[in-house]
Amino acid sequence: MFHKEGRKIILIATSLTVIIFLLSHKFVSDIIWLEKGIQIVTLVFLILVLQFFRNPRRITAINANHIIAPVDGKIVVIEEVFEEEYFKDKRLQVSIFMSPLNVHVTRYAASGTIKFSKYHPGKYLVAWHPKASTENERTTVVIETTVFGEILYRQIAGAVARRIVNYAEEGMQVVQGEDAGFIKFGSRVDLFLPLGTKINVNLNDKAIGAKTIIASK
């Protein structure tokens, strides 16, 4: 199953693969190693595109007392920080880094009402750079939950990513685990939670979007 954000790219990549296969057979079929080499490289490229846009079906055990991972990836930050855009006070930050090999679907970490949703143009520093959270292209979304109050998540573009897709709009009612957007080609997502929230993960843990419990009450 593939994400809808990848349909155009998948169609283009598939078409190019077919064209290259046909052209290589027509013009270099007498040089077997060259023909096969071109076809193998093209096929590998298509496989990478397909795996990047995969959208595995995830069944979330909805629980208002849990904050779940919004994306797949590695936990790279767990610390108390000053969140300066929306809360303007101290929060617990949990950051998940996604490599190009991870599933890049963003999912809602909790159910609730979207209170704030804003896109910021910016730089394309590597996603693990300390300033990526405030200087890179990003979107900031705040969800009002029944148990945790307001929580914030931020989709951040990386050095390769060039498009963030965000479905959250102010006033929307959202459901934990449902599709919240997509970040193309490498990125990071930051969660900002109230101080005192119990964190259920450790640095370098592998998170599974819509499955891993990041925090709980």
Owner of token pair 């370098």: 204
What amino acid positions are annotated as catalytic residues? 187
Please answer whether residues 127 and 97 qualify as being in contact, where contact means their C-beta atoms are separated by less than 8 angstroms.
yes
Rounded to whole angstroms, the Cα distance separating 93 from 208 reads 18
In whole angstroms, what separates CA 143 from the centre of its chain?
A: 17
Rounded to whole angstroms, the Cα distance separating 147 from 65 reads 6
Residue 205 is encoded by which pair of tokens?
């843990």
Rounded to whole angstroms, the Cα distance separating 87 from 69 reads 21
Strands in 88-136 per DSSP E: 89-98, 105-107, 112-120
Rounded to whole angstroms, the Cα distance separating 217 from 200 reads 10
From the list 154, 152, 155, the residue with the least C-alpha distance to 186 is 155
